[in-house]
Amino acid sequence: MAERSFKAEVEHLRLGAGDTFTGEGILAITKALLENGVGYVGGYQGAPISHLMDVLADAEDLLAELGVRFEANANEAAAAAMLAASVHYPIRGAVTFKGSVGVNVASDALANLASSGVNGGALIIVGEDYGEGSSIMQERSHAFAMKSQFWLLDPRPNLTSITKAVADGFALSEASNSPVMLMVRIRSCHVTGSFATKDNRRPPLSVREALSAPQSDFARVVLPPMSYIHEQDKIKNRWPAAERFIVEHGLNEVFGPKSAPVGLVLQGGMYNGVIRALQRLGLADIYGASQVPLYVLNVTYPLVSSEFLEFCAGKDQILVIEEGQPEFIEQQLTTYLYRAGWHVKLHGKNILPMAGEYTGQVMLDAITDFLRKSSPDLLPSLVRAPNQDRPKVPDLSKTVPIRPPGFCTGCPERPIFAAMKLAQKQTGKLQITADIGCHLFGSLPPFEIGGATMGYGLGPAANAAFDGGGERRAISIIGDGGFWHNGLSSSFGNMAFNKSDSVAVIVDNYYSAATGGQDILSSRATNATKKTQHPISKALKGVGIDWVRQVNRTYDVGHMRDVLVEALTTKEAGPKVIIASSECMLNKQRREKPLAAAAIKEGRRVQAPRFGVDEDICTGDHACIRLSGCPSLGLKTLDDPLRDDPVASIDQSCVGCGNCGEVADAAVLCPSFYRADVVHNPSAFERRWAGVRARVIGWLQARRAARRLVFAGAA
């Protein structure tokens, strides 16, 4: 069950010549693939291209009609290996995944693909997850493109440019027999707009047809001496062919006046930010017409020296706007100027920040600084000199707390970490590693469990160095998505082979939840196009791990704690694995809320649990909050002069998971939590019984009030 369904939007992919498509960037990319005769597509979900995989999954019927093969791959390496179909056959193939971590996982297959080269167009659509919206380490895919001689496209973030880049990417790949990376940033994936559509094209040669006439070419196999020939072919043939195609087809763009003392060189993905900064300076109009020359690199690798030098002709100073570090583009352009013997002064990271996202304000400040120093006459008089009277923006970092990500309300992973905290009370502090996924939030307050993560599916492997028979066993955490992505072989195969004596907890929430709730092998739901319902426990047994404990309800904090303690203290040698299973609450709510709302509207009986805190019983020590951390659990100040400390309180966002009460019970805290079932459309008997109970309770309350001592005030 994916986070979002695109069934309705997928119908727009059927638009033909003369129509206008309006929608998101991810849908536009899919439409462009179909218009350009793609023969097969695959990939692995991950921000910011998770929705692209969801679109492709929802469009499987349309893909099948066109003879296009679609595969939701097990991981990025499997996706990249799929492109082998374009090595020998003239079939256009495309895969997509998150960069740069996806590129890292796929690096072996990609390096071999770049060495052998391709006959059909091979396109890798990389979701560049960089900047303040990122969920990963801050790296760039650019370095991999340079290392292996992939041509890297970074189109301007509008639908026309993005869809054109798909067509250009396939054509460039075929013209140079090289794979091409198409980099789409977060904003490109989710930008909305329109573009004129073309008819969808069936692939000239489908993968099914290719199977009837198999081909092979020994020269394409990456083995000596062919691999040495491949390297020479890259430099002598493929690279020059790519440069010719880039120039002849105008893949890079030049805007603004032809002659000026200064110019800006920028990545295509930076175009909108640059134009907005120039608009704020009065140097560009609402349509993007710039008074400053712009050289827009829709192809950021390879760079074409002749094009760049032509742009620099007659200019005194150039500013290179390159987001991220190191400054690969700036270094290469500096080399071009030096070799040509030109004395154009080139600026870049000496004005712009070396690292970090180039936000609108960063762009405005840098361009203003550059123009003020290099060509002040271009600037309006108001900004030629620094504005000393501008109010200083206050630094709120010391007064406003940071807001790191956290578990959703009712998340079934929260009780696992509460149980782990209780287990450490018995065993002492443990060496714990984490993995990629929602469970990584357990390293943050209030749990503060786990101090390292080495990659998707590598949680248990990251603890291998500590498996040396110490005083306490090491423990690692991995999700079910990571287990099937890479963990079964890299982590659990490693544990079994080395007779590890450590503990691993597999957080099984039924989906690849962190990437948007896509189904995986162990998902419980029946998927019409995928094979699901394969128990993780069977896979573990298959690699030789016998000590396996299944917990089918993680909200039972006491049971979860006891199983953890058993794994940590048992005398049995060898790997110990706990599978902690409960459905992702976010996906559960997406599925059940519409059903409940429809049932209520139809007049059917619906019962929903709600939890609360008895204010008279709550002690106010807030240990329940420190052990739960649920967003629905907060503080409430009482109108009682004898009680200064606020008590715990549950707000309306509660989903009725019961974790707060389970934690309080397992940790032997105050019994202040209660459950109340809200009944919609109750039966006649339930209404009568509710009336009887209300009258009895009212009578008891009145009797208690009558027996209280009341001290009248002095006359």
Residue 233 lies in a domain: yes
Phi, psi of 118 (to 5 degrees): -130, 155
At 675, which CATH number? 3.30.70.20
Place of tokens 């940033």: 185
Residue 379 lies in a domain: yes
Residue 403 lies in a domain: no
pLDDT given for residue 393 in this prediction: 72
- As to burial, measured by CB atoms within 10 angstroms (0-12 exposed, 13-18 middle, 19+ buried), residue 206 is middle
Please check whether residues 231 and 182 belong to one and the same domain: yes
- The candidate with the shortest Cα–Cα distance to 412, out of 595, 633, 593, 588, is 588
Residue 560 lies in a domain: yes
pLDDT given for residue 469 in this prediction: 66
Please check whether residues 492 and 632 belong to one and the same domain: no
Mean pLDDT, rounded, for 77-82: 96
Please check whether residues 544 and 645 belong to one and the same domain: no
pLDDT given for residue 409 in this prediction: 92
Please check whether residues 420 and 373 belong to one and the same domain: no
Please check whether residues 610 and 468 belong to one and the same domain: no
pLDDT in tens, 282-313: 999 989 999 999 999 999 999 999 999 999 99
What percentage of the chain carries pLDDT values higher than 70? 97
E strands, 19-128, in order: 20-24, 40-43, 69-72, 93-99, 122-128
Please give the model's pTM, rounded to 2 decimal places.
0.88
pLDDT in tens, 388-443: 566 677 777 777 777 778 899 999 999 999 999 999 999 999 999 999 889 998 98
Report yes or no: 274 and 266 within 8 Å, Cβ to Cβ.
yes
DSSP output for 549-604: EEES-TT-HHHHHHHHHHHHH----S-EEEEEE---HHHHHHHHHHHHHHHHHTT-
CA distance readout (Å), 579 to 209, 517, 522, 536, 567: 44, 19, 12, 8, 12
Task: Please determine, for residue 387, whether its predicted confidence score (pLDDT) is greater than 60.
Answer: no
Query: How far is the C-alpha of 101 from the C-alpha of 98, rounded, in Å?
Result: 6
Please check whether residues 101 and 187 belong to one and the same domain: yes
pLDDT given for residue 715 in this prediction: 47
Give the domain-ending residue among 587, 615, 645. Answer: 587
Domain count, the chain: 4
Report yes or no: 592 and 662 within 8 Å, Cβ to Cβ.
no
Give the 3-state secondary structure of residue 708: coil
At 561, which CATH number? 3.40.50.970
Structure token digits, residue 231: 């390297």
> Which of 552-556, 622-626, 640-644 ranks highest by mean pLDDT?
552-556
pLDDT in tens, 129-151: 887 777 788 889 999 999 999 99
pLDDT in tens, 19-40: 999 999 999 999 999 999 999 9
- Confidence band of 383 (pLDDT split at 50, 70, 90): low
Strand partners, 581: 508
Mean pLDDT, rounded, for 112-130: 94
CA 112 to mean position of chain CA atoms: 26
Please check whether residues 325 and 445 belong to one and the same domain: no
- Confidence band of 640 (pLDDT split at 50, 70, 90): confident
Range of the domain at 86: 16-197+209-248
Residue 400 lies in a domain: no
Strand partners, 613: 673
pLDDT in tens, 475-484: 999 999 999 9
pLDDT given for residue 539 in this prediction: 96
Please check whether residues 569 and 421 belong to one and the same domain: yes
Please check whether residues 244 and 259 belong to one and the same domain: no
Instruction: Kindly report the length of the chain.
Output: 715
What percentage of the chain carries pLDDT values higher than 90? 70
Alpha helices in 443-545 (DSSP H): 480-482, 493-497, 536-542
Give the domain-ending residue among 363, 384, 405. Answer: 384
Please check whether residues 469 and 357 belong to one and the same domain: no
pLDDT in tens, 177-188: 999 999 998 888
Q: SS3 for 189-221, per residue?
A: HHCEEEEECCCCCCCCCCHHHHHCCCCCCHHHC
- Confidence band of 161 (pLDDT split at 50, 70, 90): very high
Secondary structure element (H or E) that encloses residue 31, with its range: helix 25-35
- The candidate with the shortest Cα–Cα distance to 455, out of 473, 475, 440, is 440
Half-sphere exposure of 100 (CA within 13 A, CB side): 12
- Confidence band of 206 (pLDDT split at 50, 70, 90): very high
Structure token digits, residue 349: 């990271």
Mean pLDDT, rounded, for 597-602: 94
Please check whether residues 116 and 151 belong to one and the same domain: yes
Please check whether residues 134 and 177 belong to one and the same domain: yes
Q: Of the given ranges (59-68, 304-313, 334-343, 467-476), which has the lowest mean pLDDT? A: 467-476
Mean pLDDT of the chain: 91
Q: With the C-alpha atoms ordered 508, 509, 510, 511, is the resulting torsion angle positive or negative?
A: negative
Report yes or no: 589 and 597 within 8 Å, Cβ to Cβ.
no
- As to burial, measured by CB atoms within 10 angstroms (0-12 exposed, 13-18 middle, 19+ buried), residue 599 is middle
At 261, which CATH number? 3.40.50.920
pLDDT given for residue 713 in this prediction: 61
Mean pLDDT, rounded, for 679-692: 93
pLDDT given for residue 104 in this prediction: 92
pLDDT given for residue 13 in this prediction: 94
- Confidence band of 535 (pLDDT split at 50, 70, 90): very high
Residue 267 lies in a domain: yes
Query: How far is the C-alpha of 605 from the C-alpha of 610, rounded, in Å?
Result: 16
Strand partners, 505: 477, 578
Place of tokens 């397992």: 666
Residue 1 lies in a domain: no
Query: How far is the C-alpha of 698 from the C-alpha of 708, rounded, in Å?
Result: 16
Residue 392 lies in a domain: no
